[in-house]
């Protein structure tokens, strides 16, 4: 599976959802996740993310390993998103800021 990680938080560009052939993205207030049970590992979404927030499960950076579990958990709770929509209002300001998990809204 592929995993959405920290740099998506407060950016949520949503380019990723547009290319997913199985529509397995789920949307929270300031973050998106991938349902690992639905992802078919096509890798199409990874290069689409302007924030470089999507990684293959085996390439998730060490300090972000908690996001694998977080994607699985939140995909069960949040609604499906299948079409691109506008990025968050301060996406450019937040892009690249580390440790945004502290701002994650569930």
| Contacting residues toward ligand SF4, per CB under 6 A | 2, 19-20, 22, 24, 34, 39-45
Contact partner at residue 13 from ligand F3S, ligand SF4, none, CB < 5 to 8 Å by partner kind? ligand F3S
CA dihedral over 21, 24, 29, 30, signed as positive or negative = negative
How far is the C-alpha of 27 from the C-alpha of 17, rounded, in Å? 10
Nearer to ligand F3S, 63 or 92 (CB): 92
Nearer to ligand F3S, 12 or 35 (CB): 12
How far is the C-alpha of 2 from the C-alpha of 60, rounded, in Å? 9
Q: Which residue is it, tokens 């959405």?
A: 4
Nearer to ligand F3S, 8 or 39 (CB): 8
In 3D space, the residue among 65, 69, 82 whose CA is nearest the CA of residue 26 turns out to be 82
Binding site for ligand F3S (CB under 6 A): 4, 8, 11-16, 32, 48-49, 51, 53-54
């Amino acid at each position: 599976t592929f995993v959405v990680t920290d740099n998506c938080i407060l950016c949520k560009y949503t380019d990723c959802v547009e290319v997913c052939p199985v529509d397995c993205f789920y949307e929270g207030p300031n973050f998106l996740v991938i349902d690992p049970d639905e992802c078919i590992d096509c890798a199409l979404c990874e290069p689409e993310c302007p924030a470089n927030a999507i990684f293959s499960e085996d390439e998730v950076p060490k300090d972000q390993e908690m996001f694998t579990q977080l994607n699985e958990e939140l995909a069960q709770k949040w609604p499906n998103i299948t079409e691109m929509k506008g990025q968050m209002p301060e996406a450019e300001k937040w892009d690249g800021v580390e440790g945004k998990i502290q701002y994650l809204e569930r």
